[in-house]
Amino acid sequence: MKNIYIIGVGLIGGSIAKDIRHLNPEITIYGIDSNPEHLDEALVLQIIDAKAEFGDLKNADAVILAVPVDAAVTILPEVLDLIHDDTLVMESGSTKVAICKAVEKHNKRRNFLATHPIAGTEFSGPKAAVEGLFRGKTNIICEVEKTAFKLQERALAIFQVMGMRIRYMNPKDHDKHIAYVSHLSHISSFMLGKTVIDKECNERDIFDMAGSGFASTVRLAKSSPDMWTPIFKQNKVNVLETLEEYIQNLNRFKNYMEADNFEAIHKEMSNTNHIKEILNGIH
């Protein structure tokens, strides 16, 4: 691979670009972005080697789409229209059903690999890009059987350089599971931040009193609404299901408090402590 095009040179696209440089010193990384300032920043930061346009994709050996999921549904078919028959195209969004459906009948479906590298921070833009962001993290690949085998091998070479663990899953299961472990976490963080801000008139008091627990819990509330609103929209059914279960648990906790049933509260927390063993097994 010599010519790699990154569409969307923010946190995810930029971080992938930084890792891809280790594949081959002769690789040229091109950037495409709807925000001209992002392209200028990416050039200055040496995330990309040159700016490009969609018409240049005919020269691509690989294209990595790292844009909000609503944009991906529109852009992905257009990208497949422009590439040659031996080009690998990957998309890295947090939902997969709508994106896979958008290209299920495309005559170049075999060129596309649906992926979700599960890593990130609350920051956005090229300046947020981090080398090694994905090392040791999980990458979910969906519908791998629909991608040409030689292009799968090309993708796996990239993932190996990035240091990622690979899991295979169908798009429907992916969207259901990710609603619990990612999408609900972001909603909780946003709403915790909103609750505190709405209650406290003096914002200085919030920051003066905020400990590390609050800071870590509300960290995700700094994430981009432009990215997360489309995710919640695309995964609406699964997100509503997780919210319903979460609200039931909150109401149960509230009922225990009202009834002075602190024994039940202690039991709930003790049972939930088991999550430490689960997470230690993952990490």
Please state, in angstroms and rounded to a whole number, the distance separating the CA atoms of residues 39 and 140: 28
pTM summary value: 0.88
pLDDT band at 283 (very low <50, low <70, confident <90, very high): low
Q: Is the pLDDT of residue 158 over 80?
A: yes
The CATH code of the domain that includes 132 is 3.40.50.720
Are 80 and 108 spatial neighbours (Cβ–Cβ below 8 Å)? yes
pLDDT, tens only, 70-80: 999 999 999 99
End-to-end CA distance of the chain: 32
Co-location of 185 and 257 in the same domain: yes
**Mean pLDDT, residues 53-78:** 97
Co-location of 129 and 224 in the same domain: no
Give the pLDDT confidence score for residue 201 in this predicted structure. 67
Print the domain residue range for 13. Answer: 3-170
Co-location of 32 and 51 in the same domain: yes
Co-location of 189 and 85 in the same domain: no
**Mean pLDDT, residues 18-29:** 90
pLDDT, tens only, 83-128: 999 999 999 999 999 999 999 999 999 999 999 999 988 888 999 9
